[in-house]
Structure 1
Amino acid sequence: MSVLSLTLVHRPDLDLVIARWPSETTPAELRRDYLAIRTLADETRCGRWLLDLRRRADVTEPLVNTWFGHEFMPSLRGRYAAPARLAFLVSPLRAQQPVVAVSAAGADCLVATFTEEAAACHWLTADFNGLN
């Protein structure tokens, strides 16, 4: 397998997949990384992901966002016992910048952005209407 540009772990104690990018990556690397995240999530049957983007300067790369919203997110539909939950962890400065929606309608995926890891983990592990 090729070398990934992120740190990727499954935390069985929290039932989370955690991905952290330590630096900038190319669009091709990002697509490869997201596919690796999905592979680990499939292997562990874990549809709750903490995606730490705080060290990436460009979190709105247009080509990746289009691919992510129109191909990748819809591929998560029905993959896990409950709708996938993706928590994007961003820097406070990045959180103030406008974001273009990246999700295709009806993707059966819950997405939220956070500036604090504890809040992101709480949201990821919360019981949403018995869907936990």
Structure 2
Amino acid sequence: MLPNGLDLLHRPDLPAIIARWQHDVTAAELQTGYEALRDLADRAPCHRWLLDIRRRADLTEPAINAWFGEVFAPSLRGRYAAAARLAFLVSPLRAHEPVMAIVSPHNTDCAIATFTNEAAAYQWLQA
């Protein structure tokens, strides 16, 4: 586990990178976690990511959503052989909450979807 409460695992058999946050983190720790995830994806290389955020409470933090939509997601454009696919796994109790800021298709090749079922998330990642 990284110091920011993030477990990262590359699963070539899926193929996907799995990122699991084990607890709430600060905004700076969250950004560092996303950057570590992107670094692993660059080394793999792997454009399919499962982001397990069931243990995080800050799903809709405006500053993080803005950073993600304006800085991080656009940085994924053209990085991999195919467009990045990010499947967010959330608790069924929080499924009604928006997870991420709207990411414009004009400034990124990133596809994002939210799931409460891990198997469904993996199926979507393979599409």
TM-score range normalised by the length of the shorter chain: over 0.9
Deviation of 1:63 (Å): 1.0
Q: Secondary structure at the match of 1:82?
A: coil
TM-score normalised by L of structure 2? 0.92
State the alpha-carbon separation in 2 of the partners of residues 100 and 7 from structure 1. 20
Query: Normalised by the size of structure 1, how large is the TM-score?
Result: 0.89
What residue in structure 1 maps to residue 89 of structure 2? 89
- Trace 1:1-132 onto structure 2 (pairs within 5 A): 3-98=3-98, 101-106=101-106, 107-126=108-127
CA RMSD of aligned residues (A): 1.4
Using the aligned pairs only, state the percent identity.
Answer: 62
Q: What is the DSSP-based 3-state SS (H/G/I as helix, E as strand, rest coil) of the residue aligned with 1:119?
A: helix
Cα pair 1:41 1:47 within 8 Å, conserved: yes
Shift of 1:99: 5.1
CA offset digits 1:73-127 (Å, max 9, x no partner): 000000000100000000112111245633134211111000000000010012x
**Gaps (5+ residues) in structure 1?**
127-132
Structure 2 Cα separation of the partners of residues 60 and 98 of structure 1:
6
Partner SS state of residue 101, structure 1: coil
Q: Is the 8 A contact 1:68 1:102 kept in 2?
A: no
**Cα distance change of structure 1 residues 79 and 91 upon mapping to structure 2, 3 Å threshold:** same
Provide structure 2 residue ranges, at least 5 long, that are not aligned to the other structure.
none
Distance, in Å, in 2 between the alignment partners of 1:53 and 1:109 is 18
Give the superposition deviation at 1:3: 2.5
